[in-house]
Each structure stands twice: as C-alpha cells, then as structure tokens.
Homo-oligomer: A and B are copies of this chain.
Amino acid sequence: MASHGTRGRGGGRPTLEEVAARAGVGRGTVSRVINGSPRVSEATRAAVEAAVAELGYVPNTAARALAANRTDAIALVVPEPETRFFAEPYFSDMLRGVGAELSDTEMQLLLIFAGSDRERQRLAQYLAAHRVDGVLLVSVHADDPLPDLLAQLEIPAVISGPRSAAETLTSVDSDNYGGGRSAVEHLLSRGRRRIAHITGRLDVYGAQRRVAGYRDALRDAGHEVDELLIESGDFTEEGGRRAMTELLARRPDLDAVFAGSDVTAAGARQVLREAGRRIPDDVALVGFDDSAIARHMDPPLTSVRQPIEEMGRAMIDLLLAEIADRRPAASRGLERRHLVLPAELVARTSS
C-alpha cells in the first residue's frame, strides 16, 4: 500500500505540513483537528481528516513531546527481586488490566525495573528528567524512598498495595481485611473452631490487614483470639513449613489453617501430610491469592481471590485522572484517593 511517491529519504512518513498542503489549510488547523480542538469548522475538519486518511498520517511522538513538554507515556515500575515471590499470576494479571485500560488511550506503557542499585539510579534520572507523565508502582516496601521522590518531583503516581494506612500516594488495593474475614468466617461456618493463621510478611501492609480480618472475624463470632494460633510467615513455601511445624507443636489440636498466601499454604500442607493429618478431614486449609498453585493442589485449595486485573484497570483510571488534573496548578489539594476492591473467597475441597 505504501507504493506512493518516495518523497523523503529514510523512512519519510508524511508530516503535519504535508497534510496541511494536501487539505489546503494551514499547519495550525491540522494540529487543531488532530488534537480534537472544537474551534474548527465542520467542513475544514472533514477536509483535514480526508487528507490524514489519504496520506496515512501518524503524528510524530518525539516532535509532539518536545513541543508540548509531555510524553504521553507512563511507567510501570517493577521492583525486580519482588516479582519472583510475589505470586505468580499477580504480575501478568495486573498487566492485563493495565493493557486493556490503556488501549483506549494514546498513552504508551514503559516497563522499568528497579531492582539493582544501578537500575534505581537510572530510574531516578528518568523521573528527574520527566520522561514520563505518570508512574505506576507495584508492591513497594514500607521503607522504599521511591514514593517520596515521586511526591517531591510532583509526578503523578498510583501505588498498588499501599505501604500503610497513611499512604500519601493515590492507591489501589484489594480488601485484604475483608478477605481475611471471609476466610475465617468460611472456616467457622464449616464448624472449625481452632483456626490457626500463618501470616504474610508483617512489614507488608496487606499482610497486616489480613491478620486484622482474622482477629475481627473470630471476635465478632464470639471467639477468643488465641495468640498461640498465630505464627508469622513470609509468603514463601519454606516459611509455611516452618510456621506449620511451630503451630503443630504448640497447638496439636488445631483443626484449620488460614495461610497468608497459596505458596505458604503449600508449605503448610506438606508438614500437615507428614504429620499424618488429612486435608480437609482433620485440618481444613485456606490460602490467599487464588493462584495456579491453588487450583492444582491436591486437594484443590480454597483461596481468597483478589481482583488483580481490575486493580490494574483502576490504577490506570486514577493515574490518567491525576495526570489530567495536574494541569491547573490552582487545583492543588486534590484529595488523595484510596480505592479498595473486594476480595472473594473461592471454596474448593481443602476446606
């Protein structure tokens, strides 16, 4: 189809100027049409659109970025080492949501890894140079300096998994508290009474919320919380094994375990098996994340599903809104928004 005149050498795509000439209008007018300005007559707009179509014109992003001082790009920052243990489906599901929501826009998505010190260095330069219009932050640690850097540079940012209840950045999260509650309520409704909890890493806010949900569900049902039934894990399989061994030694009569993640549950399961406990007959088991592991475990693991894809979509929505709002410097004091999406229990045969 590109068999037409070989004008400019070296990939010569048509420019605004050429479109303008073709449509018999000025450069400014074409720019207005491209950017959807209302101050263009219907007839002119049609003529320009025809010329655009005929020439197959596509705006040059670099030129636009340079002239307009915006980039039409957002960055998804991935703290690399985390990726591995922070749940297998998490990352790709979130990406799916992000991608879906972004496909309606002109925005492009940059993936930036911030694992090594060198990478973090580069990232800081990147942000300082304002090479993106906004930033998406995933699974950031409580002591990470990144969010503050972002705030200081006044770069719009949304974080998934707030660092604390006092998160300063706009955030999106799943209802870890509610998820913890429903796991316990489910076990109670199945007649379990001595329900243990293997927590996630307690420096992760979401893990704290799950514990809170666990405690409140027990209390609200009129049960005392037995501290000996709570043991901290770290989201890993090994941590699950360790914690389960501990719990079994302390409270051999426990009849259910709510694990802070599916991987943790897998570790706990091993120890339970080796101790001769049958699942779910002797001990019921519930995980968190509803990952592939949960579906394929034997027996299939009851787990709490987080709406990760939706969280990805929501992050983009909030970020784009923030980018759009940033223009009028007058409208300072946008109230920070904290979105919490419901988590849902998926019952399987392990409980």
A residues near B, CB below 8 A? 8, 10-11, 13, 56, 58-63, 65-66, 69, 71, 76, 78, 80, 83-84, 88-89, 91-92, 95-96, 99-100, 102-103, 108-113, 115-116, 118-119, 122, 125, 128-131, 263, 266, 291-293, 296-298
Find A131's partner among B61, B91, B95 (CB 8 Å cutoff). Answer: B61
Query: What are 11 contact pairs spanning A and B, CB under 8 A?
Result: A10-B69, A13-B130, A60-B129, A61-B62, A63-B66, A80-B99, A88-B88, A91-B92, A95-B111, A108-B112, A111-B111
Chain B residue at minimum C-beta to C-beta distance from A152: B2
- Establish whether residues B11 and A130, one from each chain, have CB atoms under 8 Å apart when the complex forms: yes
- Tell me if A125 and B58 are in contact (CB < 8 A): yes
Q: How far is the CB of A231 from chain B (nearest CB, A)?
A: 21
Central interface residue in A61, A89, A91, by most chain B CB within 10 Å: A61
- Residue in contact with A65 in the complex, picked from B62, B80, B291, CB distance below 8 Å: B62
Let me know if A96 and B80 touch, CB within 8 A.
yes
* Contact status of A88 and B92, CB under 8 A, knowing A122-B103, A298-B298: yes
- Contact in complex: A111, B109 (CB < 8 Å): yes
Q: Which chain B residue lies CB-closest to A128?
A: B58
Q: How many copies does the complex hold?
A: 2
Which residue on B lies nearest to A63, using beta carbons? B66
Residues of B within 8 A of A116 (CB): 103
Chain B residues in 8 Å Cβ range of A63: 62, 66
- The reply to whether B58 and A66 form a contact with Cβ atoms under 8 Å apart is no
Q: Is A129's CB under 8 angstroms from B8's CB?
A: no
B125, A11: Cβ atoms under 8 Å?
Answer: no
Of A103, A116, A125, most buried by chain B (CB within 10 Å of CB) is A103
Residues in B whose Cβ lies below 8 Å from that of A69: 8, 10-11
Contact A13 B103 (CB under 8 A): no
Residue in B closest to A154 when the chains form the complex, CB atoms: B11
CA distance A131 to B65 in the complex (A): 13
Interchain CA distance A69-B116 in the complex, whole Å: 31
Please name the residue on chain B nearest to A155 by beta carbon: B11
Q: CA–CA, A291 to B292, complex, Å?
A: 10
Q: Which residue of B lies closest to A297 (CB)?
A: B296
8 shortest interchain CB distances as A-B pairs: A62-B65, A99-B113, A298-B298, A58-B129, A62-B66, A11-B130, A88-B88, A109-B111
CB distance from A152 to the nearest CB of B (A): 9
Given the complex of chains A and B, what is the CA–CA distance between A298 and B297 in angstroms? Answer: 7
**A95 CA to B94 CA in the complex, in Å?**
14
In the complex the two chains form, is B119's CB within 8 Å of A103's CB? yes
Partner of A62, one of B71, B102, B109: B71
Residues of B within 8 A of A76 (CB): 111
Whole-angstrom CA separation of A108 from B88 in the bound complex: 24
Does A92 contact B83, Cβ atoms closer than 8 Å?
Answer: yes
| The residue from B13, B122, B298 contacting A129, defined by CB atoms under 8 A apart | B13
